[in-house]
């Protein structure tokens, strides 16, 4: 199927479709399953680490792993980091303050009295002050070793968990780097367009399918969910968001977590006037600390329509190559925006309980410490008068105009037809969306909402642990 060329339901080439035969139905089912199959891994990847030996050296402990690596840990670090139930409440996940190695509770000469390995999978430490023994898993020690320990020998085989690299840019750790080029498939518009990844609602409900769905979303920026059950309200959307992505973000100005868009004649807001072109944009949502939600979900509850999509990272990459100065201007100076969440929803049939006004000033192109693009933030509808200095404004505006033209050009903007029983999921830091001039059905009804970085990251981490059979530790997600 070529995106943007789909016909209206029940027609093809202007002719009515006859009732499909059993053979046709089976053929269609086979085609659909073959298209969805690549998203579902046959087996879950597993990663474990084994201990070779350990030696207590007073205020240090030397640990050797079977991957060839060896490290020297501070005894104090081990004691402070211990997560045994004696030191950390198993129920609450909180440190037991009376047992932390602070003040009089920790002698200055605290040392590991003895150590021993158990089944190559755990290290047991006996302390010089007679405190409760500590037990550490090999996976725990290896996860933190590169960050906190002194290397004594380099590994002869890689122990890196490659299956977590894709989620690291969204960990929220200060200094988290942008996604590497090889972790993304950038796209534009043209005769060789590949279809966006698709997955059935039933398959994304499985742990392996859910994890693969999130990986594909971060790689491509867009995933279409098919075979979504019929819905008369937002319950199907809310259940999908909760079970597969960690739940929708809720703003305080609306009773529901989701928004709802139905065509309204004479609408004041462009979102509800489906006869007008809605330019490409990222959703502002309710930014936590100025950062918009990571994911946008749109469920076609009724009817059909055409959405326009632009890969903002592909567009920004092209701008950087063609006009480095324009790229630098958009990455350096803030773009003034303001949204009144009540006024902009004047045409909505949902109840709103209080005012909410959000003002932001952030560069359209946001970079990490290495100068790589980590997030794009653009919405022309809510742009307010610029507060850029006199000597900067004209140069910045020329760069802005060039970027906006590229975003909406046939080179980068793609059309995708959506209809009832489908959900369109987009990476909101990367992909811009809009509404094309193509016909939308009169009954087109959308419900949708945003999902925060924290929710997506938490769900991904839960799935990684569930499908790999091992616990993940914070150090594995640090900048490296």
State residue 40's pLDDT score.
39
Its sign, for the CA torsion 448, 453, 454, 457, is positive
Residues 416 and 437 in one domain: yes
Q: Does residue 273 sit in the same domain as residue 397?
A: yes
Q: Tens digit of pLDDT for each residue in 284-325?
A: 765 655 678 899 999 989 988 889 999 999 999 999 999 999
Residue 25 domain flag = no
* Same structural domain, 190 and 122: no
Higher pLDDT, 333 or 19: 333
Name the residue with tokens 């609450």: 92
Task: Look at residue 358 in the predicted model and tell me its pLDDT.
Answer: 75
Total Cβ atoms within 10 A of residue 424: 21
Which pairing describes strands 304-311 and 335-340: parallel, antiparallel, or unpaired? unpaired
The pLDDT of residue 138 is 94
> Residue 117: its pLDDT value, please?
96
- Please compute the mean of the pLDDT values over residues 109-118 and round it to a whole number: 94
**What pLDDT is attached to residue 26?**
41
133 pLDDT more than 70: yes
Residue 115 sits at the vertex; the CA angle it makes with 111 and 120, to the nearest 5 degrees, is 145
Please indicate, yes or no, whether residues 154 and 195 belong to a single structural domain of this protein: no
Q: Are residues 109 and 242 in the same domain?
A: no
Residue scoring higher pLDDT (169 or 174): 169
Top-confidence range, 87-96, 102-111, 334-343, 384-393: 384-393
- Residue 38, pLDDT > 50, answer no
152: in domain: yes
Residues 118 and 183 in one domain: no
Is 334 inside any structural domain?
Answer: yes
Q: Which long-range contacts (CB under 8 A, 24 or more apart) does 386-392 make?
A: 386/335, 386/336, 387/334, 387/336, 387/361, 388/333, 388/334, 392/329, 392/333
**Residue range 400-411: mean pLDDT, rounded:** 97
| Model pLDDT, residue 164 | 85
pLDDT in tens, 220-277: 999 999 999 999 899 999 999 999 999 998 877 677 888 887 765 555 555 555 666 6
- Is residue 414 within 8 A of residue 330, CB to CB? The reply is no
Question: d(Cα 311, Cα 224) in Å, to the nearest integer?
Answer: 15
Residue 43 domain flag:
no
Compute how many other C-beta atoms are within 10 angstroms of the C-beta atom of residue 422.
20
pTM for the predicted model, two decimal places: 0.77
Q: What is the mean pLDDT of residues 168-189?
A: 92
* Average pLDDT value for residue range 368-384: 91
Domain match, 125 and 181 both: no
**CATH code, 445:** 3.60.130.10
Between these two residues, 266 and 38, which has the higher pLDDT value? Answer: 266
Residue in the structure block whose two tokens are 């009773």: 255
Residue 389 lies in a domain: yes
Residue 43 CA to residue 46 CA, distance in Å, equals 9
Report the alpha-carbon distance of residue 442 to residue 436 in Å, rounded: 15
What is the extent of the structural domain holding 263? 168-466
Instruction: Examine residue 45 and state whether it is found in any structural domain, yes or no.
Output: no
Q: At which of 160, 195, 223 does a domain end? A: 160
pLDDT tens sequence across 412-454: 999 999 999 999 999 999 999 998 766 777 888 889 999 999 9
Domain end (from 160, 179, 194): 160
Same domain? For 446 and 374 the reply is yes
**66-111 pLDDT, tens per residue?**
989 999 999 999 999 999 998 898 888 898 888 888 877 778 888 9
What's the mean per-residue pLDDT of the chain? 83
Does residue 120 sit within a domain? yes
What span, in angstroms and rounded, lies between the C-alpha atoms of 377 and 391?
24
Grade residue 22 by pLDDT with cuts at 50, 70 and 90: very low
Output the six-digit token pair for 151.
């290397």
Confidence bin at 380 (pLDDT 50/70/90): confident
pLDDT at 348: 55
Please check the confidence at residue 30 and state whether its pLDDT lies above 50: no
Which pLDDT score is estimated for 438? Answer: 66
Do 214 and 117 sit in the same domain of this protein? no
- From 453, 394, 60, 89, select the one nearest 246 (Cα to Cα): 453
Residues 70 and 184 in one domain: no
**Domain count within the chain:** 2
pLDDT tens digit string along 264-292? 555 555 555 566 667 788 887 656 556 78
191 and 291 belong to one structural domain: yes
The residue out of 119, 136, 160 marking a domain boundary is 160
Per-residue model confidence (pLDDT) at position 15? 35
CATH code at position 102: 3.30.2020.30
Burial of 404 (0-12, 13-18, 19+ CB in 10 A): middle
**3-state SS record for the chain:** CCCCCCCCCCEECCEECCCCCHHHHHHHHHHHHHHHHHHCCCCCCCCCCCEEEEEECECEEEEEECCCCEEEEEHHHHHHHCCCCCCECCCCCCECHHHCCCHHHCCCCCCEEEEEEECCCEEEEEECCCCCCEEEEHHHHHHHHHHHCEEEECCCCCCCCHHHHHHHHHCCCCCCCCCCHHHCCCCCCCCCCCCCCEEEHHHHCCHHHHHHHHHHHHHHCEEEEECCCCCCCCHHHHHHHHHHHCCCCCCCCECCCCEEEECCCCCCCCCCCCCCCEEEECCCCCCECCECCCEEEEEEEECEEEEEEEEHHHHHHHHHHHCHHHHHHHHHCCEEEEEECCHHHCCCCCCECCCCEEEEEECCEEECCCCCEEEECCCHHHECCCCCCHHHHHHHHHHHHHHHHHHCCCCCEEEEEEECCEEEEEECCCEEEEECCCCCCCCCEEEEEEECHHHHHHHHHHHHHHHHCCCCCHHHHCCC
Dihedral of the alpha carbons of 315, 318, 320, 325, in degrees to the nearest 10:
-90
Q: What is the mean pLDDT of residues 39-66?
A: 76
Q: Are 169 and 178 in contact (CB under 8 A)?
A: yes
Same-domain status, 207 and 249: yes
Alpha-carbon distance of 246 to 451, in angstroms, equals: 7
Portion of the chain with pLDDT greater than 90, in percent: 52
Is 275 a member of any domain? Answer: yes
Q: What is the pLDDT of residue 276?
A: 65
């Amino acid at each position: 199927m070529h995106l943007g060329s789909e016909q209206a339901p029940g027609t093809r080439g202007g002719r009515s479709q006859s009732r499909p035969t059993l053979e046709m139905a089976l053929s269609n089912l086979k085609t659909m399953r073959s298209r969805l199959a690549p998203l579902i891994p046959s087996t879950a990847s597993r990663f474990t680490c084994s201990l070779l030996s350990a030696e207590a050296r007073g205020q240090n402990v030397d640990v050797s792993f079977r991957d060839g690596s060896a490290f020297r840990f501070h005894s104090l670090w081990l004691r402070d980091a211990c997560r045994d139930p004696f030191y950390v409440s198993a129920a609450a996940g909180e440190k037991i303050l009376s047992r932390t190695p602070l003040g009089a509770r920790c002698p200055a000469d605290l040392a590991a009295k003895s150590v021993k390995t158990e089944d190559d999978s755990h290290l047991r430490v006996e302390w010089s002050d007679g405190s409760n023994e500590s037990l550490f898993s090999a996976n725990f020690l290896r996860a933190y070793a590169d960050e906190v320990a002194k290397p004594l020998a380099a590994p002869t085989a890689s122990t890196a968990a490659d299956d977590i690299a894709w989620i690291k840019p969204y960990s929220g750790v200060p200094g988290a780097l942008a996604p590497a080029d090889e972790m993304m498939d950038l796209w534009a518009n043209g005769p060789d367009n590949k279809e966006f990844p698709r997955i059935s609602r039933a398959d994304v409900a499985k742990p392996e399918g859910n994890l693969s769905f999130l990986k594909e979303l971060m790689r491509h920026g867009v995933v279409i969910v098919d075979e979504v059950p019929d819905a008369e309200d937002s319950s199907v959307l809310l259940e999908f968001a909760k079970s597969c992505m960690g739940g929708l973000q809720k703003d305080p100005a609306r009773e529901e977590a989701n928004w709802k868009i139905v065509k309204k004649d004479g609408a004041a807001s462009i979102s509800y006037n489906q006869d007008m072109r809605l330019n490409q944009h990222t959703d502002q949502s309710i930014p936590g600390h100025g950062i918009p939600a990571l994911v946008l979900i749109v469920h076609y509850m009724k009817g059909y329509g055409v959405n326009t999509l632009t890969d903002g990272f592909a567009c920004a990459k092209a701008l950087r190559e063609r006009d480095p100065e324009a790229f630098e201007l958009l990455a350096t100076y803030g773009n003034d925006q303001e949204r009144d969440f009540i006024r902009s929803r004047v045409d909505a049939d949902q109840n709103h309980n209080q005012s909410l006004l959000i003002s932001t000033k952030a560069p359209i192109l946001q970079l990490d410490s290495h100068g790589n693009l980590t997030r794009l933030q653009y919405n022309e509808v809510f742009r307010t008068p610029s507060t850029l200095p006199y000597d900067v404004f004209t140069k910045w505006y020329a760069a802005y105009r060039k970027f906006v033209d590229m975003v909406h050009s046939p080179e980068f903007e793609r059309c995708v037809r959506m209809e009832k029983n489908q959900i369109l999921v987009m990476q909101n830091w990367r992909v811009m969306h809009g509404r094309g001039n193509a016909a939308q059905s009169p009954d087109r009804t959308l419900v949708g909402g945003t999902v925060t970085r924290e929710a997506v990251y938490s769900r991904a981490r839960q799935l990684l642990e569930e499908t790999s059979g091992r616990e993940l530790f914070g150090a594995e997600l640090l900048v490296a």
